[in-house]
Structure 1
Amino acid sequence: MILCAGRNETFDFAKPVGVGLVESAITLTQYILEEKPAFLFFVGTAGSYGKFAPLDILLSHNASNIELAFLQDACYTPLQTTIEAKIPHVSRGTTHPLVNVNSSNYITTNEALAKKMLENDRDIENMEFFSILSVANHFNLPCSGLFVVTNYCNENAHDDFLKNHAKAKELITLHVEKNMKI
């Protein structure tokens, strides 16, 4: 089953799960219970903490949920903040780098905090992937994600996202059509 966020980020070949951690977890759980997929492959856009450039294509099978306040020593959590797919689903025929994804319901616009994410071994941010992996692991499903970078995590993040979003969606579509045989 190929998944995407939804709203302005949809694809004919993917099922939308909603935006952010909560919507995606609820919707994906419902899909799994009703349709019983054999694997999950999430496609979406991401912001780069600085290591990757806009329109880079990246793969992942791990994610974290690290909030910016944690980087400022302003909070703590008793919850697990990093997760890896129990069974990674690997897209064949690709040479894209494997990356570490951070998920939050917020978009990072502070470049100094983005650099701290890099120091904490996080490469990109995508709002849904942590919950996608969490649900996949709960149901013991293979799971991976494909991401196209739309922007750097800085004060221009939203404008750059808007500028690059259509091209990023086009690159996702080309990758899936070429490698997934939809």
Structure 2
Amino acid sequence: MIICAGREEVFNFAQPMGVGLIESAINLTRKCLFDKPDYLLFIGTAGSYGEHNIFDILESKRASNIELSFLNNDSYTPLDNVIESENNLAKNDTIVNSSNYISSNFSLSKNFNVYGIGIENMEFFSVLQIAKEFEIPAAGIFIVTNYTNETAHEDFLKNHKEAMSKLTQYLIDKNIIKLTNH
């Protein structure tokens, strides 16, 4: 099953699960309880912590849930904050960080690269957590729309339409989907 976030990020070949960690967890859990898929492929956009460029496409099966305060030693968690899906659905290029907040302080957020975390996407950590709970292989494919800086939102909006088209074409080229009109 191919899934996406929703709202502005909808594809006609993917089922929207909701924006952010909570909406996606609730809706994906409901889906898995009533109609468990054989696999989950999450597709969407991401912000770069600096090592990946606008319109780069990355595949991953690893996600983290680390807040910016962790980078300053201002917080800790007793929970596992990195998760990996054990499968061969995607290359494991980078760890995708997820939070209900979008980073806009580049001087701080670029430090995620030190931990092998290259991009952020609001939903992917919850997708992998649900997939693990239901023993479903999962992966994600992401296209970078912005850097995690003060113009993150404006750049996301400016690049979103082209990013959606490029990501769709990537999926067609990789034989993940077959569409004649997109």
Alignment TM class, shorter chain as reference: over 0.9
Cα contact 1:87–1:140 (8 A) shared by 2: no
- In 2, Cα distance between the equivalents of 1:125 and 1:57? 13
* TM-score w.r.t. length of structure 1: 0.93
Segments of structure 1 that go 5 or more residues without pairing to the other structure are 91-95
The residue that corresponds to 1:93 in the other structure is none
**Matches for 1:55-94 after TM superposition, within 5 Å:** 55-90=55-90
Kindly indicate whether residue 13 of structure 2 is the aligned counterpart of residue 18 of structure 1: no
The residue that corresponds to 1:135 in the other structure is 130
- Per-residue CA deviation, residues 104-152 of structure 1 (Å, 9 max, x unaligned), is 0001100111221111211000000000000001111111100000001
Q: 1:120 is matched by which residue type in structure 2?
A: Y
* Count of aligned positions: 177
- Per-residue CA deviation, residues 82-107 of structure 1 (Å, 9 max, x unaligned), is 000033423xxxxx772210000001
- Per-residue CA deviation, residues 57-97 of structure 1 (Å, 9 max, x unaligned), is 1100000000011111111111110000033423xxxxx77
**Matches for 1:117-128 after TM superposition, within 5 Å:** 117-128=112-123
Segments of structure 2 that go 5 or more residues without pairing to the other structure are none
- In 1, Cα distance between the equivalents of 2:116 and 2:177? 33
CA RMSD of aligned residues (A): 1.3
* TM-score w.r.t. length of structure 2: 0.93
- In 1, Cα distance between the equivalents of 2:158 and 2:3? 23
- Identity of paired residues, percent? 52
The residue that corresponds to 1:32 in the other structure is 32
- In 1, Cα distance between the equivalents of 2:153 and 2:177? 32
Kindly indicate whether residue 127 of structure 2 is the aligned counterpart of residue 165 of structure 1: no
- In 2, Cα distance between the equivalents of 1:181 and 1:114? 34
